[in-house]
Amino acid sequence: MNTVAVKHWTWRDTFGVYLREAGFQFWGLVRMPGFALPTLLFPTMFYLFFGLIFAKGSGNSAAVYMLASYSTFGIMAPALFGFGMGVAMERDHGILAMKRVAPMPPMAYLAAKAAMAMLFALVIALLLFTLAGLFGGVTLPRAQWILLMLALIAGTAPFSALGLVIGLRAGGQASAAIINLIYLPMSFLSGLWVPLQFFPLWLQELARIFPAYHLSRIALGIVHQGGDGHYLAHVIYLLMFTVVCLWLARLGWRRIQDR
Amino acid sequence: MDSTSKTGAAVAVLTGVSKRYGKVLAVDGVNLEVRHGEVLALLGPNGAGKTTSVNMLLGLSRPSSGNALLFGRSPRDVGARRRIGAVLQGAQLGGHARVGEVIRLYSGYYPEPMPLAEILRSAGLEDLEKRPVLKLSGGQKQRLLFALAVCGNPELLFLDEPTAGLDVESRRGFWNRLREFKRAGRSIVLTTHYLEEADALADRIVVINRGRVVAEGTPAEIKRSVAQRHIRCVTALNETQIRRLPGVNSVRQDGKRLDIVAAHPEGMLLEMLKLDPALHDLEITGARLEEAFLALTENRPEEQAA
């Protein structure tokens, strides 16, 4: 051990770390039924009941409308819970500290979590698309299917960022409670379960503060179901929301590092 | 050739480091040097500031003042962290991932990890590669933490209370793994409140209490510098005369004999015999390491710092 010839670290090694981290987190989530089942099943069941069975008489457009709103609802959970609870639990259990001591690039950890949120969004969207196509008689131009899918995958970003802020601030138990307190009311108040036009006007106005509202407007617009056409405004809102959350997360991370 | 890998050179240094949490001064002006190839034990009671000191060397915590260096660099530097490994206090492994998967993940962070089989062997996990982490016993989890600490082939290993909660047999097994690791020429920093552990493993002990270094030396030196020896004898000397001698801590009449507690009985006795050659019924008993430790950490630490 007297001669220390430190092997040169290449971008390939870094890439390998990113891949292994993502693979490790993937298997961690898949093997955790408490995470994978509800995040995949809830939006699927909701859509099956409210979008397909109860809305049977109301024609094709209800099934399309709810496809957009319930898939928006669906992709929020893996982002919020995967990031928020994941980070909080790993912090509680000292796993984050182990990773900070190990020469792991912090971005590998975050990128893996972001990728998992996107992957679960993809699966949830595919499940709902399949239900819509098979049982709801939903037919959309191929471009709309693809655009909706892309919007849903990219749409995990603000929720992943929000989850990260919560996970870096709150402990494991608290973060579960906080995320549920945000996730469910926000979904409802953004019109993901019941269309907003059934709400009093002031609640319709209030919805504008929620990222879920803006993502759902984009999704609805893609499938021509009452989108307002202000795509740019919604995208800008979501980007700003994401940036603010990442900035807050950075503060939280600094606080942890300086502890 | 790196200057920090020479035997005896400092691989990790705390210089005048203090750490304040609100009104609590957890670490108060600590100077610490970990030398290449040595096993250094940080010994002290719970809450003494051992973990905080180690965390500052690991980059988990930032000193309020003073300087922490790992291999001459900031502990946050990825190049420095590639050369260390750590078993952190209170790390709770769990989840459905298998032992081998976790080790492969952590090995991948390092430029030159040990082969998986060697890691499993050195941590005593040979038959557990396919076992899900959540099915491991407490001792097996602790061995996995050790495996993750050594998988990157570190030059410097930090162990924060590594055997807390282990049974005697597991603790001995762990000591043997540490000795084997040390024989490969690596440096180890160990925090413990088990005196036996520090005595069994360390080349050098730094005793920390209330955030300050109260003693430093080899296990033998530490014991010698603080050992309270009881000298019992029948003598014509009175208490006042004895109290004038150097190194006396207390004098007490015990039946016919005087019971003197002193740090350096040899010098004491020489003086006493000069004054009273008729001194008899002499008995000297050494304090055990536990007593020495208690003396250091509980009894006026400032005065007894060696």
Q: What is the pLDDT of residues B127-151, one digit of tens each?
A: 999 999 999 998 899 999 999 999 9
Say how far apart CA A127 and CA A43 lie, in whole Å. Answer: 9
Element (H, E) at B268: helix B265-275
Are B59 and B29 contacting, i.e. CB atoms less than 8 angstroms apart?
Answer: no
CB contact under 8 A, A6 and B104: no
Task: Please report the pLDDT score of residue B298 as a whole number.
Answer: 56
- Is residue A21 within 8 A of residue A109, CB to CB? The reply is yes
Separation CA B28–CA B22 (nearest Å):
14
Calculate the average pLDDT of chain B.
Answer: 86
Instruction: Answer whether residue A53 shows pLDDT above 90.
Output: no
Whether the predicted pLDDT of A128 surpasses 90: yes
For residue B291, what pLDDT is reported?
60
Strand arrangement, sheet containing B257-262: B248-254, B257-262, B229-234, B280-285
Ramachandran area for residue B212 (φ above 0: left; ψ -120 to 50: alpha; else beta): beta
B9 contact partners, CB below 8 Å, separation of at least 6: B3, B35, B36
Q: Does B185 touch chain A (CB under 8 A)?
A: yes
Given a cut of 60, whether residue B305 has pLDDT beyond it is no
Residues of A within 8 A of B7 (CB-CB) are 2
Query: What pLDDT does residue A230 have?
Result: 87
> Which of B8, B11, B39, B37 has its CA nearest to residue B201?
B39
Query: Quick check: A80 and A179 in contact, CB under 8 A?
Result: yes
**Residue B168: Cβ within 10 Å count:** 8
Q: State the pTM of this model.
A: 0.84
The single-letter DSSP state of residue B98 is B
In this predicted model, what pLDDT tens digit does every residue of A228-257 receive, in sequence order? Answer: 778 999 999 999 999 999 999 999 999 998
| List of chain A residues whose C-beta atoms are within 8 Å of the C-beta of residue B186 | 1
Distance of CA B17 to the CA centre of its chain: 18
* Residue B80, pLDDT score: 94
DSSP 8-state symbol, B97:
-
B5/A4 CB distance under 8 A = yes
Q: Could you give the angle at the alpha carbon of A63 between the alpha carbons of A59 and A64, nearest 5°?
A: 110
pLDDT bin (cut points 50, 70, 90) of residue B304 is: very low
pLDDT of residue B287: 58
Report whether pLDDT(B288) > 70.
Answer: no
Residues of B in contact with A105 (CB under 8 A): 78
Q: What is the pLDDT of residue B301?
A: 37
* Interchain CB distance below 8 Å, A97 and B6: no
A-B contacts (CB, under 8 Å): 99
pLDDT of residue A59: 65
- HSE-CB of B121 using CA atoms within 13 angstroms: 7
The single-letter DSSP state of residue A53 is I
| Residue B302 reports pLDDT greater than 60 | no
Interior/surface letters A108-143, b for 16+ CB within 10 angstroms, e for the rest: bbbebbbbbbbbbbebbbebbbebbeeebebebeee
Contact between A116 and B112 under an 8 Å Cβ cutoff? The reply is no
Which two tokens mark A114? 């972001």
Question: What is the band of B193 on the pLDDT scale with cuts at 50, 70, 90?
Answer: confident
- pLDDT of the residue at B90: 84
Q: What is the pLDDT of residue B30?
A: 95
Percent of chain B with pLDDT over 90: 50
Regarding an ipTM greater than 0.95, the answer is no
The better pLDDT of the pair B107, B259 is held by B107
* A56-70, A81-95, B77-91: least confident range: A56-70
What span, in angstroms and rounded, lies between the C-alpha atoms of B162 and B160? 5
> Which H helix or E strand runs over B216?
strand B212-217
Please tell me the distance from the alpha carbon of residue B75 to that of residue B80, in angstroms, as a whole number: 6
Q: Do A1 and B184 make contact, defined as CB atoms within 8 angstroms?
A: yes
Measured in angstroms, the CA of B110 and the nearest CA of chain A are apart by: 7
Nearest CA to A219 out of A201, A234, A198 is that of: A234
Mutate to test the interface with A, among B105, B119, B156 (most CBs of A within 10 A): B105
Shortest alpha-carbon distance between residue B217 and chain A (Å)? 25
Does B3 score more than 60 pLDDT? no
CA distance A21 to chain B (A): 7
Residue A120 has pLDDT above 60, yes or no: yes
Query: Is residue A99's pLDDT more than 60?
Result: yes
- Say yes or no to pLDDT of A138 above 70: yes
For residue A3, the chain B residues in CB contact (below 8 A) are 1, 5
pLDDT tens for A169-205 read 998 889 999 999 999 999 999 999 888 889 999 999 9
The answer to whether B37 and B199 are in contact (CB under 8 A) is no
* Residue of chain A whose Cα is closest to the Cα of B64: A258
Answer yes or no: are the C-beta atoms of B164 and B138 closer than 8 Å.
no
Confirm if A91 and B60 have CB atoms less than 8 A apart: no
A71-to-A33, A158, B251 alpha-carbon distances in Å: 21, 15, 83
A241, containing H or E segment = helix A231-257
Q: Is the pLDDT of residue B20 over 50?
A: yes
- Nearest residue in chain B measured CA to CA from A32: B96
Domains with residue ranges and CATH for chain B: 3-223 (3.40.50.300), 228-286 (3.30.70.100)
Regarding predicted confidence, which is higher, B24 or B168? Answer: B24
* Per-residue pLDDT at B306 exceeds 60: no
Range name among A141-145, B47-51, B101-105, B296-300 with the lowest pLDDT average = B296-300
Do A93 and B96 lie within an 8 Å CB cutoff? Answer: no
Mean pLDDT across chain A, nearest whole number? 91
Look at residue A50 in the predicted model and tell me its pLDDT. Answer: 85
Of B97, B110, B185, the CB nearest to A24: B97
Higher pLDDT, B258 or A79: A79
Spatial separation of the C-alpha atoms in residues B139 and A231, rounded to whole Å: 56
- CA B8, B11, B15, B17 torsion-angle sign: negative
| Domain spans of chain A, in order of start | 14-257
Instruction: Say if residue B25's pLDDT is above 80.
Output: yes
Contacts A6 to B, Cβ<8 Å: 79, 82-83, 111-112
pLDDT of residue B1: 42
How far is A188 from A195, CA to CA, in rounded Å?
9
Looking at per-residue pLDDT, the higher value among B250 and B106 belongs to: B106
